[in-house]
Amino acid sequence: MNNQIAISVADLVKKYGIVKAVDNISFEVLKSELFGIIGPDGAGKTSLFRIIATLLKQDSGKAIIEGFDNVKDYREIRNIIGYMPGRFSLYQDLTVEENLKFFATIFNSDIKENYYLIKDIYDQLKPFADRPAGKLSGGMKQKLALSCAMIHKPVVLILDEPTTGVDAVSRKEFWEMLRKLKSAGITIIVSTPYMDEASLCDRVSLMQDGKIMSIDSPENILNSFIKDIYAIRSADMFRLNNDLQNYPSALSVNTFGQYIHYCDKKDMIEEFELVKYLSQLNHKDVEIKKINATIEDCFIDLMIKNAAR
């Protein structure tokens, strides 16, 4: 195994009955890389992370973490990883400080030994040191969970949807913390359903229905989207959506906030053609503008291409 690779996953499969939650997945994560698994609920992200964290055994394939096999060497792996599950799983009746001491003790460590790793995070928790973990806000719970996952100085950090259900400010702070941990040499693999968080990773894997559709840097994924895309709105958005769906050469029509993102089957489409079509259908206050694709646009485009195969 290449000594620059922290995680190597090859032909991984996990089934629940007839459902393939993880469907023949392969990828590698480099040391000190911030690697994102991006996909909606049900994509298979949690099953994949539980396999990597040695909490779930795959049906076939291999997962190697820092040279250790996830099945044969699970004890060694558990000593070098920090795992933060999607659901808050700390002891809710213990205080903030008691939880941190407990997890440090499990790994034969103490808070002082690796305090420098969590200082920026824990400083925000200090005012609540004596508060039961179950009574913290969502953002503070995530910061405590990250501190507990980091207190033994792991080599690899596995974070399953750490920002789900957290307010926008806390999400931003959390990702700033991850960048600092990456700069300290820690390998981070993180999953999220939020497409906008993809741009914060070094590389991302776009995952759907247990399969990986693409792996690349966010910039390269965006550059791979070559079709024209328009943001469109009118006075009647519901009818606009239906009418665009019925446009003869419509490829994808998806609502993004106050606009609908429209992509055509043709490589290029003239704006006046859309304006004429909508005018004939008596749409009022029509606004059309050509835009750059987002990661979510790229994700939808890949879904369409995969479905057509």
**Which domains, from first to last, does the chain contain?**
5-222 (3.40.50.300), 226-292 (3.30.70.2070)
Distance CA 51, CA 49 (A): 5
pLDDT at res. 204:
95
Contact yes or no for 69/62 (Cβ under 8 A): yes
Please tell me whether residue 236 adopts helix, strand or coil conformation.
coil
Contact yes or no for 218/295 (Cβ under 8 A): yes
Q: Please tell me the pTM assigned to this model.
A: 0.87
Contact yes or no for 188/182 (Cβ under 8 A): yes
If we measure between CA atoms, which residue out of 218, 204, 188 comes closest to residue 33?
188
Estimate the share of the chain in helix, then strand, then coil, as percent rounded to the nearest 5.
Answer: 40, 30, 35
pLDDT in tens, the chain (309 residues): 567 999 999 999 999 999 999 999 999 999 999 999 999 888 999 999 999 999 999 999 999 999 999 999 999 999 999 999 988 888 999 999 999 999 989 888 878 888 888 888 888 888 999 999 999 988 888 889 988 898 888 999 999 998 887 778 878 888 888 998 899 899 999 999 888 899 999 999 999 999 999 999 999 999 998 888 999 999 999 999 999 999 998 989 999 989 999 999 887 777 888 889 999 999 999 999 999 999 999 998 888 887 766
Distance CA 237, CA 283 (A): 9
Strand 156-160 with 187-192, pairing? parallel
